[in-house]
């Protein structure tokens, strides 16, 4: 009986420990969603999709069109697209924040999510991860550290596979 009770207590402790990690991500085409899902499974983390209030269409994502929604957003440093729903980040110690690389950095919707969750993110370990067909994550890491200097950023991950 003691062994069963001890096993239940250990299982509860492990579940509690695992619940302290959040993988929050934005995915425009599904690539980042696949990477986020795998990352959450590897770390026993909760998965949270950052969903825009107005979904992106294929035309919105046409980076070759200067008038497309993504181009207009990325060319305006103050742009903060609305998010459909926020999540409570207070229970988490470590937060992975994922996105596709747009114009070398994170899409503006990531700024929206970060802005909406400040100052609750302060003191938490923040780990950016990204997907990209051709860019690295270095410029995005530098941008996040410069834009949100009070957050505890760790080295980012490029998860293309």
- Output the pLDDT for position 161: 60
Residue 65's φ and ψ, nearest 5 degrees, are -100, 115
**Which residues of the chain register pLDDT less than 70?**
1-19, 161
- Output the pLDDT for position 2: 44
Residue 108 falls inside a structural domain: yes
Q: For 44-157, where are the alpha helices, taking DSSP H only? A: 69-74, 108-117, 138-147
Q: For 19-102, where are the alpha helices, taking DSSP H only? A: 31-43, 69-74
What is the pTM assigned to this prediction?
0.84
Residue 3's H or E segment, with its range, is helix 2-18
Residue 130 falls inside a structural domain: yes
Quote the tokens at residue 30.
């599904």
- In terms of Cβ atoms closer than 10 Å to its own Cβ (0-12, 13-18, 19+), residue 61 is middle
Residue 23 falls inside a structural domain: yes
Q: What is the pLDDT of residues 9-29, one digit of tens each?
A: 344 444 444 449 999 999 999
Residue 13 falls inside a structural domain: no
Residue 117 falls inside a structural domain: yes
Residue 8 falls inside a structural domain: no
**Helix, strand, or coil here: 50?**
coil
Number of domains in the chain: 1
CATH number at residue 27: 3.40.50.360
Residue 148 falls inside a structural domain: yes
Q: What is the pLDDT of residues 105-129, one digit of tens each?
A: 999 999 999 999 999 999 999 999 9
- Nearest partner of 81 among 94, 70, 93, judged by Cα: 70
Q: Structural domain of residue 59, as residue ranges?
A: 18-158
Residue 9 falls inside a structural domain: no
Distance CA 74, CA 108 (A): 7
Distance CA 87, CA 64 (A): 33
- Output the pLDDT for position 20: 94
- Output the pLDDT for position 63: 86
């Amino acid at each position: 009986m003691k062994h069963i009770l001890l096993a239940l207590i250990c299982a509860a402790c492990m579940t509690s420990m695992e619940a302290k990690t959040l993988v929050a991500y934005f995915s425009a085409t599904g690539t980042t969603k696949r990477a986020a899902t795998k990352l959450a499974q590897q770390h026993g983390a909760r998965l949270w999709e950052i969903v825009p209030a107005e979904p992106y269409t294929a035309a919105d994502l046409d980076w070759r069109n200067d008038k497309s929604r993504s181009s207009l957003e990325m060319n305006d440093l103050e742009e903060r697209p609305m998010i459909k729903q926020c999540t409570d980040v207070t229970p988490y110690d470590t937060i992975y924040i994922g996105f596709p690389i747009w114009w070398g950095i994170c899409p503006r919707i990531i700024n929206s999510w970060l802005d909406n969750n400040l100052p609750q993110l302060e003191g938490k370990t923040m780990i950016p991860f990204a997907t990209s067909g051709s860019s690295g994550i270095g410029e995005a890491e530098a941008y996040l550290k410069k834009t949100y200097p009070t957050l505890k950023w760790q080295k980012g991950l490029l998860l293309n596979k």
